Structure 1
Amino acid sequence: MLFNSHAFLFVYFPIVLLGFFWIGKRNVRAAAGFLALASLFFYGWWSVKAMPLLLGSICVNYWFGLRLTPAPGREDAQRKRLLIAALVVNLGVLAIFKYANFFLSNVNEGLAAAGFTPMPLLHIALPIGISFYTFTQIAFLVDCWQGKVHERSFVHYALFVTYFPHLIAGPVLHHAQMMPQFANPSTYKPDPNKIAVGLAIFSFGLAKKLLIADPMGQYADLVFNGAHQGLAPTLYTAWFGVLAYTLQIYFDFSGYSDMAVGLSLCLGVQLPINFRSPYKSTNIIEFWRRWHISLSTFLRDYLYVPLGGNRKGPARRYLNLFLTMLLGGLWHGAAWTFVIWGALHGAYLMVNHLWNAKVRRNAAPGRVAKVLGWLLTFVCVMIAWVVFRADGMHTAIAIYKGMLGLNGAPPTAFNEMGLMPYRKNDFFKTMLVGLFICLALPPAITLERWVPHPQSVAGHRVMAATSTVFIAASTLVLFAWAVSKLGGYSPFLYFQF
């Protein structure tokens, strides 16, 4: 069930919203259980076959969490061994489902080259959302071992893991962000202001997906699929194809994140911010503080810091940065293209930190330097997106050749890739609107800042009423426009990770 589907918009979510608050008036624990069951139904809609794995993961990790918590009679060495066992179980399951065939395929290539019979592949489907709920629970287990977890309710833990706004494509949640909210009785009382702002944020996210991401994706698919089929994209085509994907992945994933934040806010729960205008970044360090914030935070806290962080000298720091991004790339998918994407960003971060240490040395950059830094960062991000999107290195190399102008730059590039002339203007309009939103407007999750606070218009009833009506009408028009674009199956890009 997609957020951008009629079934979700007009059946599932209204029932969940009304049922949650109706039950919450009578029993908050029952309301939490209802929301957990509704979230399991949401997941089961995708794949009933994957449900036992999710339920088993929840039960096993809750059991581990209880025994990892410091308590009288529990020795640290014993708890550490149990933590290692828990991590092996979680990462082992993730490795089997996500990376086993990737590993076997690479081994088989070596066996075939040596003249040996290849091993059979496992032919197992990747359970949707497994990376997100596995990382979420790994963070929970580590925090249990460190004594940071105090909430012990199984119902709240199950809801924390399965909570439907984040379950399929994140953000990666931390127990301290969520479980106290589920334990707060005020969460189960409807707040008209939260519902109004939540619906507005959701509408912005829905519009991002349907009005910008999907149209940009159509052109990006033409270019990348054409390169995969052997066509040679020209300079003009290649750069616009990569720019189209650059906008598609941003508006697709940030649109999902906005929808998740909006849906959750309607239910009285605040999800962490996952995007903060990353394409405004003037360096790659800033980019990773703004892009997929929950994953960046997880990689920093549970991978980079345990590797040693910056505590063991500059050389080790650079190595830790590179390894963190390399594994972050592999987290996105079992393919060498994702590994190379992670390696590129690891190299970018190393160069950025080296520049700061040896050249800039904390001097504030001027206006021209900021503009040049933004342009360089944006281009580097685009270059890395090529291998992230390509289905193989042969496709990526074809795109890179086009970007270097090795295939020429004729003005008929759009027609060569199958884009009809009458759609060219639509593409450019959508692209310019997307760039304007990315580079000039604040994130949709700051919508509350755009809405006049009741105290600021106190005594101005006409102003208050006018602003309320205008915002409500604008949101309704945007929502209706986005809904009018609902049609075929259009999943979010991060569902595959």
Structure 2
Amino acid sequence: MLFASQPFLVVFLPLVLGLYYAVAASRAARQAVVIAASVVFYGLWDWRFVPFLLAMTGCNQMVAMAWGRWRRRGWLVFGVVANLAVLFGFKYADWLAGVIMGLAGRAHAPWPVILPLGLSFFVFQKISYLVDLGRGQARVYRLADFVEFVTFFPQIVAGPIVRHNELVPQFDTSPRNGAMWANLGQGGLLLLVGLGKKLGLADTLGGLCAPVFDAAHMGHAPGLGSAWLAAIAYMLQIYFDFSGYSDMAIGMALMMGIRLPFNFNAPYTAVSVRDFWRRWHMTLSRFLRDYVYIPLGGNRCPPARQAANVVATMGLAGVWHGAGWNFMLWGLLHGGALAVAHAWARAGRAMPRWGARGLTLLFVLLTWVVFRAADLPAAGRMFAGMAGMGGMGKVNLPHPFILLLAMGVALVGPASQSVIMDRLRPAPWMAVAAGVAFVLLVFLAGGRPPEPFIYFQF
């Protein structure tokens, strides 16, 4: 089931919210509603993976309980390695086997492996909890608390990557409190904005870029205009698709009285690559910082070691997104750019703000081409087209207003959560406008085949 689908919006979510508030006085009943809703939500995508989801949850809970009883670090090491092994088996083993077979000059028949929905987010969440146990920054939770934490349906599939200490303490608070109406109103607006980003912008932009990237994968070099249009459209599509999902997840949680960390803060207004990663997928950035970069030595090392640390961290970020050389290259390119940015800052150099922002945006756009391309040869054809090697070509732009609107929102900002949480004040006209917009978007959702969120594949 997709967030941006009619069954979810008009049946599942209202039913869950109604049951949740009906039993709001009982913590145990609220917990039962959330866990049941989360299992059903996950199962409606593919019921075969529900036992897998619950088994992984149970295994991690048993590791935490073993640590709590015997305080042997080996339990936590086992838990982290086991989580990584599951991730490797589902996500990377087939790809690695293909690479090895290719180097040996033999053909590889892809294995019939189906990736469980949201596995990467699920595994990272568990690893952060187990590592925090070892650091003395977490406690062993009750089974019901742990299950609710790891299966919480608004964020189980594509984040934000929520830490235990951000979510579990909120389970104690009833949603029926002085902030209830503000939470429902602001959460509903965030849900509406995210729905608009997905249905109104991201899915339309996907139709502009997908044919060009698909043609590049088939061996055709696009024309100059088509290549640049596709690159710009994808840069906007992935932003509105993923930030739209995050807005919807944060909004739904807020409607239940639970606050999730924000995940985007107008990233295309960044003035450096470092600034970009402070604004883009912020919960992944902090996970990589706290659980990879700092343990490697972080900024406490000599410059050469620090550069190696940041390149290794971002290389891991690239591999986390997918099994493919293009994802690894994308991560390494960002790691190299971050290393250069650190060196630039140490040298005390500066650049005009307009120049810094333009250079950052160009770098991000070009690396998104590598990220989106099916493989490195396809990325090479896209770059050849952007360099004019495929001729001028003919540009097909069926939705110019959508493209211009998306560019204006993404390049000027501000962030949606900043507007809704800090600037908007309740008013009757706003409720009417939001209701009309919601009805229109629900009809739009039913008028075309649903498009999965991009980050579902990761």
The answer to whether TM tops 0.5 is yes
Count of aligned pairs between the two proteins: 455
Looking at structure 2, the residues matched to 337 and 95 of structure 1 have their Cα atoms a distance apart, in angstroms, of 18
Looking at structure 2, the residues matched to 279 and 19 of structure 1 have their Cα atoms a distance apart, in angstroms, of 39
Provide the residue aligned with 2:360 in structure 1.
377
1:479 equivalent among 423, 427, 438: 438
Looking at structure 2, the residues matched to 99 and 228 of structure 1 have their Cα atoms a distance apart, in angstroms, of 21
Extract unaligned runs of 5+ from structure 1: 453-466
Provide the residue aligned with 1:451 in structure 2.
424
Matches within 5 A, 1:150-229: 150=139, 152-186=141-175, 191-229=180-218
Larger radius of gyration: 1
| Contact persistence 1:233–1:398 (CA under 8 A) | yes
Matched, 1:386 2:369: yes
Matches within 5 A, 1:275-424: 275-360=264-349, 369-410=352-393, 413-414=394-395, 419=396, 424=397
Residues 258-311 of structure 1: CA distance to partner in whole angstroms, max 9, x if unpaired? 000111111110011000000000000000000000111111101111111122
Looking at structure 2, the residues matched to 248 and 121 of structure 1 have their Cα atoms a distance apart, in angstroms, of 29
Matched, 1:47 2:74: no
2:21 partner letter: F
1:440 equivalent among 407, 412, 417: 412
Runs of 4+ in structure 1 displaced over 6 angstroms? 187-190
| Contact persistence 1:282–1:373 (CA under 8 A) | yes
Matched, 1:20 2:20: yes
| Contact persistence 2:4–2:450 (CA under 8 A) | no
Looking at structure 2, the residues matched to 85 and 392 of structure 1 have their Cα atoms a distance apart, in angstroms, of 34
Q: In terms of mean alpha carbon deviation, does 137-146 or 182-191 score higher? A: 182-191
Secondary structure at the aligned position of 1:33 is classed as helix
Looking at structure 2, the residues matched to 120 and 217 of structure 1 have their Cα atoms a distance apart, in angstroms, of 30
Looking at structure 2, the residues matched to 120 and 495 of structure 1 have their Cα atoms a distance apart, in angstroms, of 24
1:51–1:383 distance in 2 versus 1, CA, 3 Å: same
1:489 equivalent among 432, 443, 450: 450
Looking at structure 2, the residues matched to 201 and 282 of structure 1 have their Cα atoms a distance apart, in angstroms, of 26
1:15 partner letter: L
1:432–1:121 distance in 2 versus 1, CA, 3 Å: closer
Residues 439-464 of structure 1: CA distance to partner in whole angstroms, max 9, x if unpaired? 22321112022223xxxxxxxxxxxx
Looking at structure 2, the residues matched to 474 and 403 of structure 1 have their Cα atoms a distance apart, in angstroms, of 41
2:409 partner letter: I
Matched, 1:267 2:256: yes
1:41–1:379 distance in 2 versus 1, CA, 3 Å: same
Q: In terms of mean alpha carbon deviation, does 471-480 or 92-101 score higher? A: 471-480
Looking at structure 2, the residues matched to 157 and 307 of structure 1 have their Cα atoms a distance apart, in angstroms, of 29
Provide the residue aligned with 2:138 in structure 1.
149
Extract unaligned runs of 5+ from structure 2: none
2:91 partner letter: K
Q: In terms of mean alpha carbon deviation, does 323-332 or 57-66 score higher? A: 57-66
| Contact persistence 2:97–2:108 (CA under 8 A) | yes
Matches within 5 A, 1:116-155: 121-150=110-139, 152-155=141-144
1:64–1:189 distance in 2 versus 1, CA, 3 Å: farther
2:102 partner letter: E
Looking at structure 2, the residues matched to 383 and 451 of structure 1 have their Cα atoms a distance apart, in angstroms, of 35
> Structure 1 vs Structure 2: percent identity of aligned residues?
38
| Contact persistence 2:330–2:371 (CA under 8 A) | yes
Matched, 1:91 2:64: no
Looking at structure 1, the residues matched to 54 and 227 of structure 2 have their Cα atoms a distance apart, in angstroms, of 45
Looking at structure 2, the residues matched to 334 and 441 of structure 1 have their Cα atoms a distance apart, in angstroms, of 33
Looking at structure 2, the residues matched to 131 and 2 of structure 1 have their Cα atoms a distance apart, in angstroms, of 18
Looking at structure 1, the residues matched to 198 and 313 of structure 2 have their Cα atoms a distance apart, in angstroms, of 30
